[in-house]
Homo-oligomer: A and B are copies of this chain.
């Protein structure tokens, strides 16, 4: 074998690490687990929290990338879902979701024409923050012979995408309203940077500022004869603030279905971590080396969870701390000898749910100790 020859690609995607009916402890590792009881309680709690408000829920599917979850959110009253990428939207629509907001700018003719194509199959909407991009979007929509709802993204403090509040929003809204095939549907005002501010006071202040910017912008639009039917934003960390604002009428929490270690560090009014939603998402890992009494090494490292927001937590093991991740290893420091043994399986709570889910092809859904379903993470790797 001295000269490379053309080879077949991988024969087939990796099979799921478990099968329905199995005890969860039999799953191969690393596996991405979903505790269905906790997941369903999270769905119910969001509904419960919003009872009595008229705000619509459009959960962010970038967190789960899974049509099975999107459909369950919709069954609980969500009006549709958000996502960030056209290819994510394709996977969601293919999976049966009929109303998708790409809560992001879509740039480039390839992506724009795919977005326009999708509008034949589902109710699609998208954000803009640039007049040139808007012109490209209008052209793609004309070429496809479809119509599309368009929201102007407004920067309410995250300093990422979006035009500044006020006149820049009005200018784009007017351009949208003048573009055949496009409908000005409202404003996208997501304050991403506010979601993980640790104290309720910090989050309150950040969202109060966002609300104030949105309110002034809406007044400007109204005074120019433009009505923002949809005012959308909010995440798991702040959604009750937007919901109570009287300004936002749609919210986009995503992580609430799963939670993660980072969201678990947000504090409530009592100074304690907010426990409104439960951890339902875990990595099942195996102790694959344990040569020192107070150190166990598990088979889940940087390729099995994302450490961008810190290390995962070790569930179910008192005093154990996951202290170091390398590509395929995680080092767990133990409170004492005998805490874990070689081959034992442990559940980890990921530091950050969204990029962790994106590493897996399958969600192993369990209830109690029984695997109840295997759901494909259909939009895994869908970043085009």
Bound form: Cα–Cα A382–B28 in Å: 12
A71 partner residues in chain B, CB cutoff 8 A: 1, 4-5, 7
Which of A44-52, A129-137, A220-228 forms contacts with chain B?
A: A129-137
| Contact B108 A14, beta carbon cutoff 8 Å | no
A37: CB under 8 A from chain B?
no
Count copies of this chain in the complex: 2
For chain A, give the interface size range: 35 or more
| Contact B299 A9, beta carbon cutoff 8 Å | no
Bound form: Cα–Cα A236–B251 in Å: 48
A343 interface neighbour in B108, B297, B325, B354, Cβ under 8 Å: B108
| Contact B107 A74, beta carbon cutoff 8 Å | no
Interface of A is mostly: loop
| Contact B72 A302, beta carbon cutoff 8 Å | no
A276: CB under 8 A from chain B?
no
Which of A84-92, A201-209, A262-270, A312-320 forms contacts with chain B?
A: A84-92
A278: CB under 8 A from chain B?
no
| Contact B342 A132, beta carbon cutoff 8 Å | yes
A155: CB under 8 A from chain B?
yes
| Contact B327 A29, beta carbon cutoff 8 Å | no
Q: Which of A71-117 contact B (CB under 8 A)?
A: 71-72, 74-75, 84-85, 87, 91, 94-96, 98, 104-108, 110-111
| Contact A331 B14, beta carbon cutoff 8 Å | no
A105 partner residues in chain B, CB cutoff 8 A: 288-289
Q: Quick one: closest B residue to A84, CB to CB?
A: B328
With A14-B381, A87-B14, A379-B10 as contacts: A288 and B328 at CB distance below 8 Å: no
A53: CB under 8 A from chain B?
no
Task: Digitize A150-162: 1 where CB-to-B-CB distance is under 8 Å, 0 elsewhere.
Answer: 0001010001111
A383 partner residues in chain B, CB cutoff 8 A: 30, 299-300, 303-304, 328
| Contact A288 B379, beta carbon cutoff 8 Å | no
A354 partner residues in chain B, CB cutoff 8 A: 302-303, 327
A279: CB under 8 A from chain B?
no
A360: CB under 8 A from chain B?
yes
A331 to chain B, nearest CB (A): 6
| Contact A94 B4, beta carbon cutoff 8 Å | no
A291 interface neighbour in B1, B62, B162, Cβ under 8 Å: B162
A360 partner residues in chain B, CB cutoff 8 A: 381
Bound form: Cα–Cα A382–B12 in Å: 12
**Residue in A14, A30, A162 with the greatest tally of chain B CB atoms within 10 Å:** A14
Further pairs besides A28-B384, A84-B328, A160-B326: 6, Cβ < 8 Å: A4-B75, A9-B378, A30-B383, A105-B288, A160-B331, A161-B297
A: which residues have CB within 8 A of B? 1-5, 7-11, 13-14, 17, 28-30, 62, 67-68, 71-72, 74-75, 84-85, 87, 91, 94-96, 98, 104-108, 110-111, 129-130, 132-133, 153, 155, 159-164, 168, 192, 286-292, 295, 297, 299-300, 302-304, 306-308, 324-329, 331, 342-343, 352, 354-355, 358-361, 376, 378-384
Shortest 9 CB-CB distances between A and B: which pairs?
A9-B376, A161-B289, A10-B378, A4-B71, A84-B328, A107-B288, A302-B355, A303-B358, A327-B354
